[in-house]
A and B are shown apart, each in its own frame.
Chain A
Amino acid sequence: MFHPIAWLLWLGAAVLPVMLSQNPLYVGIVCLAAGIVYMVIGRYSPLAQSWSGFLKLGLTIIALTVPFNALSVHAGRLVIFTLPRTWPLVGGPITGEAVIFGASKALSLFTLLLLFAVFNCAVDQARLLRWTPAFLFEAGLVTSIALTFVPQMLRSMQEIYEAQAIRGHRFRGIRDLLPLFVPLLTSGLERAMQLAESMETRGFGGSLQSLSPRREVLVRIAAAVALLGLVGGFFTVTYFREGQTLSWTLLVLSVTALTLVFRIQSQRVRRTRYRHGVWHRQDTVLAAISVGLAVIILLIRSWARVTLSYYPYPPFSPWPPFNPVLGVALTVLVAPAMLAFPQSQMTNDQIQVSND
């Protein structure tokens, strides 16, 4: 399969048009591409094989959104029928525009879910965790410990349930959870003590270092300032037409500062990694395609903003506009299905050995 980073880039490129545009034509193309990818990776991931659940979910979303939108929005020229105006909230004309817009919203939501479902199926969580950046090492380790502990906990839950049941404990009300929950939590905490010792005896204690006090002060100040800069930048970019250059400069500066902070914080973790996922030629292709698509979308957004927007109600046309360039560009999202790996390359995380 592809490298988790390549998948992440693909996900980003696919989510971008869905979130920037509600235009059902573009979103539809993304949805179709995601569906094809979902089917193809189903060959490798058993998770991806259940289509029926997904289709049900999609229908539910449409069944909820379309009537809700049609009944609550009464604008538009394509009147289908009219409900008495005296009815609260739902009274008024039921319009074609409202139905179309409801459907397009449902499509967006469904596509988003589908994209993340593809990502969840395609990327092994343990593999993804190995790519936790160094500055988040502790958080990643906590997550990894938790994931390792869950199967054991489920077993002990069963054990506790049986042990209490034969002591006459019955589940009659919420209060009866206590004899089940307390042994579970207690055993967990007892285990934590043992685990900490085990980590300590395998040299964990020293792999984390503190920064020098001076550096730490600087890093924290920088972090706080950069975060404030970031939020300021986002606000001004989003809400004011004037002074865009200034806002963008602020944003770029803040992001640079944050990256720097992350880098410095990474240095305090003195560890090496055993595994290096292999980056195949296919990963490069997928990454390039994804980044390319994102750039095209962002260029269109800044130069031909109108192309992306869609607004069915008067004074605009209820029919979505379509830019063929963007439409064709979006079809490249099927790349993961087309670039499928030959079987021999399917092994997870081969380890690169240097010849020494």
Chain B
Amino acid sequence: MIMRKTLNAVVLAAASLVGVAAFLYPFFFPQPSETAQGMLSHSNDAPFLFIILMVFCLGMVLSNLSSGQMNSKIIAVLGILTAVNAVLRAVPGPAGFAAVFFLPILVGYSYGATFGFLLGALSILVSALLGAGVGPWLPFQMFATGWIGMASAWLPDMQRRPRLEVAVLTVWGFGWGFAFGAAMNLWFWPFVFDPTQTALYWQPGIGAIETLKRYAAFYVVTSLWWDLGRAVGNGLLLLLFGGPILRLLRRFRVRFQFEIQPV
């Protein structure tokens, strides 16, 4: 059992590493050593290759998480929660805010990492199939939302101190609001790159520090305000509803007698 858990964790860690790499590749770009012409045509492949990588990675994680641990109860509960979360995402909030992290955070925190990851990733897929549309961004969104659910399981269990619990979850959700936005912009940022001396765009070979600076500028200009809305929205939802929904989820955990191993 312990062996299996460890191995599960190793695969998840490897896949996450690949995922992080696929998100962050602009930061690792080496210095150019050749003509501008060659560099230029070459760099165009990167976004495409990393989308393929992401798809592979996602398949691996989904198949690993589900293999051998799923029984009918877990599948049914996941299916229902996924539907609820996909519909939540479709409910329009102010300023384009969608409550898509609220449930994965709470479910990841109370039912465990596997549950959190699968709920996050699959609810994005379902909402895409329901009409939000399938597109090249889909694997990135699935991965990022899955991570949020998974990472929420790593918070210490604070069931004994409900006020602290809600406070921590609120801050956690607020933080993820920004982190998600920053990560999601990365998938297309290099794709819209502009090979001139502008302060906002990625260029091949500018090095990690410079990339980081430019990305920060790009992020502040384009996405910060959206993400602020998302962060505040998530924080607020967790602050107001975190307590009652957690109580509900815990009640049902007893009823379902989940025997899912934590990762």
Contacts and interface: CB of A to CB of B under 8 A. Distances in A.
Q: Do chains A and B touch in the complex (CB under 8 A)?
A: yes
Interface of A: 15-16, 19-22, 69, 72-75, 89, 101, 105, 112-113, 116-117, 119-120, 125, 135-139, 141-147, 149-150, 153-154, 157, 174-175, 177-178, 181-182, 184-186, 188-189, 191-193, 195-197, 199-200, 204-205, 208, 210-211, 213, 216-217, 220-221, 223-225, 227-228, 230-231, 234-235, 237-241, 255, 258, 261-262, 265, 268, 301, 305-306, 308-309, 311, 313
A142 B17 contact: no
Given A73-B196, A73-B198, A205-B71, A196 B60 contact: no
Given A15-B136, A143-B82, A227-B60, 4 more contacts: A19-B136, A116-B136, A204-B72, A227-B57
A87 B47 CA distance: 33
B240 A178 contact: yes
Interface string B111-143: 000000010001101100110011110000000
Contacts of B42: 238, 305
Contact of B83 (A15, A22, A145, A301): A145
Nearest to B48: A19
Contact of A149 (B50, B56, B79): B79
B196 A125 contact: no
Nearest to B50: A234
B184 interface: no
Contacts of B125: 143
Contact of B18 (A135, A216, A230): A230
Most chain A beta-carbon neighbours within 10 Å: one of B29, B76, B200: B76
Most buried by A among B30, B84, B197: B84
A235 B28 contact: yes
A217 B68 CA distance: 13
B133 A217 contact: no
A221 B11 CA distance: 7
Contacts of B83: 145-147, 149-150, 153, 188
B80 A149 contact: yes
| Interface SS, B side | helix
Nearest to B84: A188
B155 interface: no
Contact of B123 (A89, A146, A186, A220): A146
Nearest to A177: B241
Nearest to A47: B131
Given A138-B75, A145-B83, A178-B241, A230 B56 contact: yes
B44 interface: yes
Given A220-B8, A234-B49, A258-B60, A192 B44 contact: no
Chain A interface, >50% SS class: helix
Nearest to B28: A235
17 contacts: A75-B197, A120-B134, A138-B66, A142-B78, A144-B79, A149-B79, A150-B126, A153-B84, A154-B87, A177-B241, A189-B252, A192-B76, A199-B72, A199-B76, A205-B72, A217-B3, A234-B49
Contacts of B169: none
Given A150-B87, A216-B4, A141 B41 contact: no
Interface string B48-68: 111101001101101110111
Contacts of B191: 19
Contacts of B82: 142-143, 145-146
Contacts of A235: 21, 25, 28
B64 A306 contact: no
B244 interface: yes
A320 to B, nearest CB: 13
A223 B84 contact: no
B195 interface: yes
Given A15-B136, A146-B126, A189 B77 contact: yes
A192 B60 contact: no
B113 to A, nearest CB: 16
Contacts of B66: 136-139
Given A189-B77, A262-B63, A265-B67, A178 B18 contact: no
Interface stretch (B31-39, B156-164, B175-183, B206-214): B31-39
Contact of A241 (B34, B126, B245): B34
Contacts of B78: 142, 145
Contacts of A143: 79, 82, 122, 125-126, 129
